[in-house]
Amino acid sequence: MRLILLGPPGAGKGTQSTRLMTEHKIPQLSTGDMLRAAVKAGSPIGLKAKSVMDSGALVSDDIVVGIVAERIEEADAKGGFILDGFPRTVAQAQALDAMLEGKHLKLDAVIELKVDEAALMARIKQRADETLKAGGAVRADDNPESFQIRLVAYRQQTAPVSAHYAALGELRPVDGMAPIDQVSAAIDKILK
Ligand code: ADP
């Protein structure tokens, strides 16, 4: 199964990806996680991406498309994958469409988690508080300033990705304001 999860920061993509990954035995390909790993490793991509990510803005399409193209070639992604945080621009969506077409692969679903903007800030704050309480490290972009920039990037650059898949007749919206198990049930119904 090949899925895309779309939705603003804090929409619950990570929560749903983790569950779907276990249930369908397919990897979650999170560009955010891959980029954070590159930053941590101090690789050339990480060095380029760090300050952009910390600010809340988007890393260039070239970099992100490159890491996804490499990642979906790996053995564990041959049987399917969940894309989380990619595509985030229409150019990335077009690059993905071309990548899949070149391999004669099709997406099974593009699911959009819809959440009110007002709720997002509260969720991110809660994530940061819980991480701190658990003694973990809060993400450098989970602060109010970077979060505002992430929301603007979402509105301006990522919301058009939904329109791209809607025009192709592939977009399946889900109410991301519902309790987690209801969101899960709605997604499972789409995938059945
Ligand atoms: P969020 O929790 O806000 O959805 P992610 O963990 O997916 O965030 O990504 C964190 C940051 O990594 C983004 O703000 C951006 O700088 C960078 N990033 C992740 N995925 C992409 C992408 N597909 N295109 C450009 N930048 C990306």
Mean pLDDT by groups of 10 residues along the chain of 192 residues: 94 93 96 96 96 96 96 95 97 97 94 92 88 91 90 95 96 95 97 93
> Which residue in 141, 22, 154, 153 sits closest to 82, CA to CA?
22
Question: CATH code at 19?
Answer: 3.40.50.300
Does the pTM surpass 0.85? The reply is yes
Per the domain annotation, does 37 fall within a domain?
no
Asked about 36 being catalytic, the answer comes back as no
Given 13, 19, 36, 172, the catalytic residue: 13
How many A from CA of 128 to the centre of ligand 1? 17
Query: Exposed (0-12), middle (13-18) or buried (19+): which is 192, by Cβ within 10 Å?
Result: exposed
Phi, psi values for residue 79, rounded to 5°: -90, 5
Evaluate whether residue 103 is within a structural domain.
yes
What is the domain count for the chain? 1
Residue 39 lies in a domain: no
pLDDT of residue 98: 97
Q: Which domain holds residue 168?
A: 2-26+79-191
Q: Nearest-CA neighbor of 109 among 22, 12, 2, 31?
A: 2
Residue 124 lies in a domain: yes
Q: What is the pLDDT of residue 10?
A: 86
